[in-house]
């Protein structure tokens, strides 16, 4: 049984070592920057910036972004169901209908409360 985990361990070690080793080698190879001030300035098509780039956003923007991520993650659950649809049969169909029903109820509730409005 442990023999099956050896390729996974080797892959995990390579996945951890490769980026670190690449960054270390590139740090040794790259030229040193002498004009740090110019590199830290924001670039706006050659025009000097008109204000601070760290503007304030309304909390509503972040709420809508979080809702978008949550519902996208829930929709991702449809893919494994679609792949195994033939094996799941009627039980899989009923459970997915319940899942989609809850998802649609969430959308309706958000629409009724006005959480999806950008104003």
Task: Write the CATH number for 83.
Answer: 1.20.58.1610
Any idea what the Cα angle at residue 96 is, between residues 91 and 98, rounded to 5°? 100
CB atoms within 10 A of CB 103: 15
Assess if residue 76 is contained within a domain.
yes
Q: Tell me the C-alpha distance between 65 and 48, whole Å.
A: 30
Count of domains for the chain: 1
What pTM value is reported for the model?
Answer: 0.45
Share of the chain above pLDDT 70, in %: 82
Model pLDDT for residues 27-59, shown as the tens digit of each residue: 899 877 666 666 666 666 767 667 676 777 777
Domain span at 46: 2-113
């Amino acid at each position: 049984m442990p023999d099956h985990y050896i390729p996974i361990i080797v892959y995990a070690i390579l996945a951890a070592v490769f980026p670190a080793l690449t960054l270390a080698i590139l740090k040794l190879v790259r030229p040193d920057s002498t004009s740090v001030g110019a590199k830290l300035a924001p670039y706006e098509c050659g025009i000097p910036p008109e204000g601070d780039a760290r503007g304030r956003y309304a909390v509503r923007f972040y709420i809508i972004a979080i809702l978008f991520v949550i519902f996208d993650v829930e929709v991702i659950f449809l893919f494994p169901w679609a792949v195994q649809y033939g094996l799941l049969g009627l039980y899989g169909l009923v459970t997915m209908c319940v899942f989609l029903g809850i998802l649609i109820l969430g959308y309706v509730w958000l629409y009724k409360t006005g959480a999806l409005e950008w104003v």
